A and B are shown apart, each in its own frame.
Chain A
Amino acid sequence: MNHLQRHQGGWAIALSLFVALLLAAMPMPDWAASWRPEWVAMVLIYWCMAMPGRVGIWTGWMLGLVLDVLQGGLLGQHSIGLSLVAFITLGLHKRLRVSPLLQQALAVALMLVLYRLIWLWIGVVTGQQAERSLVWLPALSSMLLWPWLFILLRDLRRRASVR
């Protein structure tokens, strides 16, 4: 009984991650595709920050694997970056939670650049990626969207009383 009370609202976490995966696969016009925000990574960062006991490195790793299959990349190419992002967020979650939204957005952008760089580096090393991809465009758009996403997910968390 106690166990049931402690874990509540898991559907909200699952739903938000699922929607993030949908957004990651959504077709976009060519000019906008390079600006596509890192939806999955952002939602993962949010839940790591808000619910460090429930969402963590393994969630990030599994999510990365699903993303790899969804996008037809090398298995593990996203997992490694996402588990690192989760690891960093777990380490910083106390500080991140209380910092102003702008500062949060900056930290998120930095983590996303790291994530994309790792992804790109693996792509180039295995010869599957031309070296010209712009890594900082998605990080920039994600940074601009972070405050809104944060507020949205916070409301979702309160409404679903995720614990």
Chain B
Amino acid sequence: MLCVVLSLLLMVLDHRYTYVEGIRSTLSAVVYPIRFLVDLPVEGGRWLSETLATRSRLLAENKALRRENLMLRSRFQKFASLSQENRRLRALLDSAQRVGERVLLADLMAADLEPGRQQIVLDKGSRDGVYPGQPLVDDNGVMGQIRHVGPFSSTALLLTDPAHAIPVQVNRTGLRAIAAGTGEGLLKVDYVPVSADIREGDQLISSGLGGRFPAGYPVAVVTAVSRDTGEAYARIVARPNARLQLAQHVLLVWPEVKPDHVDALTLGEKSR
């Protein structure tokens, strides 16, 4: 009976407030060996396939990478001059300067989490400066945000989790909206009026409102819009840009304006 009461108390504290984050962080260090052991065979297999790769395949890969590097470098030259120009124009307009964002590469740990939820485990924790609510991107777009941080590992919530929502903007028109997860690999865009100008194929980017996600990262592409005149809002479905299921490495981003107090998961998550 005492256990039930204690469980209920813990759940309320964990759901409504952030007092028990310390307990979770401590316990997370306890469960790290389990995560490590589970991850070991997967990591070992990856290492083995890398070690035993044939020479010709390595040469081919090397060649392809060198070509890609060259292309990226040439594009980056242009980018440098553009960013200079941008800075000058911003100075002319007297608007706030954008500082470069700091990023850190993190590896995914193989571990299955709660069924029905969209979460991943990363091998970076508070030791590396990771904080709850930190945005997560891959090479294609926003992936999600950090939810719980332990000393050596952390748990992240993906965009498609039913408890996740992100402020977005339609790239073509600048229309702002909220994209929430459905739990099934897709996003739904809530509270967009039936008359709004949004159509299939529109790119959604992060709007930066709320100060949690940096602005301008690609989030999702609209795949279906259905307008029912009887309802106030259009029903919009979008597919995330980031390859949420296939990623092995992710980038942790420190946005230029870090919210001064991070009360875990009140901004980015749906408040109920």
Asked if B93 is at the interface (CB within 8 A of a chain A CB), the reply is no
Contact of A69 among B27, B38, B117, B119 (CB under 8 A): B27
Asked if B115 is at the interface (CB within 8 A of a chain A CB), the reply is yes
Q: A74-B11, A75-B24, A77-B11 are in contact. Are A83 and B112 (CB under 8 A)?
A: no
Q: A70-B34, A128-B163 are in contact. Are A25 and B111 (CB under 8 A)?
A: yes
CA distance A22 to B31 in the complex (A): 10
| Across-interface contacts of B27 in A (CB, < 8 A) | 65-66, 69
Q: A72-B155, A79-B7 are in contact. Are A130 and B34 (CB under 8 A)?
A: no
Contact of B6 among A27, A61, A122 (CB under 8 A): A61
- A75 and B162 within 8 A (CB): no
* Interface window among A6-14, A28-36, A102-110: A28-36
Asked if A57 is at the interface (CB within 8 A of a chain B CB), the reply is yes
CA distance A60 to B269 in the complex (A): 31
Closest A residue to B121 by beta carbon equals: A72
CA distance A79 to B112 in the complex (A): 19
CA distance A77 to B13 in the complex (A): 12
Interface hits, B12-45 → A, CB 8 Å: 13-15, 20, 23-24, 27-28, 30-31, 34-35, 37-38, 42
Asked if B246 is at the interface (CB within 8 A of a chain A CB), the reply is no
- B117 and A72 within 8 A (CB): yes
Counting chain A CB atoms within 10 Å of each CB, the highest count among B3, B8, B35, B37 belongs to B3
- Smallest Cβ distance from A36 to chain B, in angstroms? 7
- A129 and B35 within 8 A (CB): no
CA distance A32 to B42 in the complex (A): 17
- Smallest Cβ distance from B186 to chain A, in angstroms? 12
Asked if B4 is at the interface (CB within 8 A of a chain A CB), the reply is yes
CA distance A69 to B15 in the complex (A): 14
Asked if A64 is at the interface (CB within 8 A of a chain B CB), the reply is yes
CA distance A127 to B35 in the complex (A): 26
Asked if B260 is at the interface (CB within 8 A of a chain A CB), the reply is no
- A72 and B11 within 8 A (CB): no
Asked if A51 is at the interface (CB within 8 A of a chain B CB), the reply is no
Majority DSSP secondary structure for residues of A touching B: helix
Asked if B110 is at the interface (CB within 8 A of a chain A CB), the reply is yes
| Across-interface contacts of A70 in B (CB, < 8 A) | 31, 34-35, 111
- A25 and B4 within 8 A (CB): no
Interface hits, A7-60 → B, CB 8 Å: 18, 21-22, 24-28, 33-34, 36, 57-58, 60
- A133 and B162 within 8 A (CB): no
Chain A, interface residues (CB within 8 Å), range: 35 or more
CA distance A90 to B170 in the complex (A): 58
- B7 and A76 within 8 A (CB): yes
Interface string of A86-127 (1 = CB under 8 A from B): 000000000000000000000000000000000000110011
CA distance A80 to B8 in the complex (A): 8
- A76 and B38 within 8 A (CB): no
- A75 and B14 within 8 A (CB): yes
Asked if B127 is at the interface (CB within 8 A of a chain A CB), the reply is no
**Closest 3 A/B residue pairs (Cβ):** A76-B10, A80-B7, A83-B3
A residues with CB within 8 A of B: 18, 21-22, 24-28, 33-34, 36, 57-58, 60-61, 64-66, 69-77, 79-80, 83-84, 122-123, 126-130, 132-133
- A selection of 9 A-B contacts at a CB cut-off of 8 Å is A22-B34, A22-B38, A25-B34, A25-B111, A69-B31, A72-B113, A72-B147, A122-B11, A130-B183
B residues with CB within 8 A of A: 3-4, 6-11, 13-15, 20, 23-24, 27-28, 30-31, 34-35, 37-38, 42, 110-117, 119, 121, 147-148, 155, 162-163, 182-184, 270, 272
- 18 new A-B contacts, CB < 8 A, other than A69-B148, A74-B11, A76-B11, are A36-B115, A61-B3, A61-B6, A65-B27, A69-B28, A69-B30, A70-B34, A75-B13, A75-B14, A75-B20, A76-B9, A76-B10, A79-B3, A84-B4, A123-B116, A126-B11, A130-B162, A130-B184
